[in-house]
Amino acid sequence: VIGIDLGLKVPAVAVTSEGKTRFFGNGRENKYMKRKFRSERKGLGKKKKLRAIRKLDHKEQRWMKDKDHKVSRQIVNFAIKNQVSIIHLEKLTNIRKTTRTSRKNEKNVHTWSFYRLAQFIEYKAKMAGIKVEYVNPAYTSQKCPSCSTLNKAIDRKYSCPCGFHTHRDKVGAMNIIHAPVIGGHSQSA
Ligand SMILES: [Zn+2]
């Protein structure tokens, strides 16, 4: 099994049951591009160039979609290489917790982009004969993978009084490996 944690700063983190970790995508570049598109759009808006704005929107959509295709490809290749049979992804309704902004629209945009990336991963995984299961993401970013105590990460570091410590973005994926699977896939029927 591998656990995949999706986020903004690091678009995706994968951790295998054996603890092998890989970071995917470039959150900083995504943020830069988003800002660049936004400022171009603003300039066009001032000149009332509506057709050009629509064209720019499509360009941005294509750019983001292309990134999601690349990241999902890399994740599934990583899964194949490590001979995993199941990929665990967070159930997406709660994923907005990873976004800091409180603006409703922004939240929706992020949820949508996570959703699409998850869909791409699921599709490519299926093609490779790998099963995708969605897990309950409750506390996955806070729980200590070693002793289950809840802690909050400070800056980029996660550390627990029990002595466990790691990169904060790794904790989510580690917990997602063992988090309860949602809907129909449970073995405990
Ligand atoms: Zn601990």
Domain range summary for the chain, segments of one domain joined by +: 2-178
**pLDDT band at 106, cuts 50/70/90?**
low
CA 158 – ligand 1 centroid, Å = 10
Q: What is the mean pLDDT of residues 97-125?
A: 72
CA 108 – ligand 1 centroid, Å = 33
- Please say if the pLDDT value at position 186 is more than 80: no
Can you give the pLDDT at residue 81?
97
In the three-class reduction of DSSP (H, G, I as helix; E, B as strand; rest coil), residue 157 is classed as strand
**pLDDT band at 102, cuts 50/70/90?**
very low
**pLDDT band at 97, cuts 50/70/90?**
very low
Amino acid (one-letter) located at 38: R
- Please say if the pLDDT value at position 141 is more than 60: yes
CA 143 – ligand 1 centroid, Å = 8
CA 166 – ligand 1 centroid, Å = 11
CA 89 – ligand 1 centroid, Å = 23
CA 151 – ligand 1 centroid, Å = 8
Average predicted confidence (pLDDT) for the chain: 88
pLDDT tens-digit readout, 4-40: 999 888 899 999 999 999 999 999 999 999 999 999 9
**pLDDT band at 189, cuts 50/70/90?**
very low
CA 148 – ligand 1 centroid, Å = 6
CA 157 – ligand 1 centroid, Å = 14
The answer to whether 123 and 68 have CB atoms below 8 angstroms apart is no
CATH for 2-178 is 3.30.420
Which class for 176: exposed (0-12), middle (13-18), buried (19 or more C-beta within 10 A)?
buried
Q: Could you tell me which of 68, 56, 175 has the C-alpha nearest to residue 119?
A: 68
Can you give the pLDDT at residue 108?
59
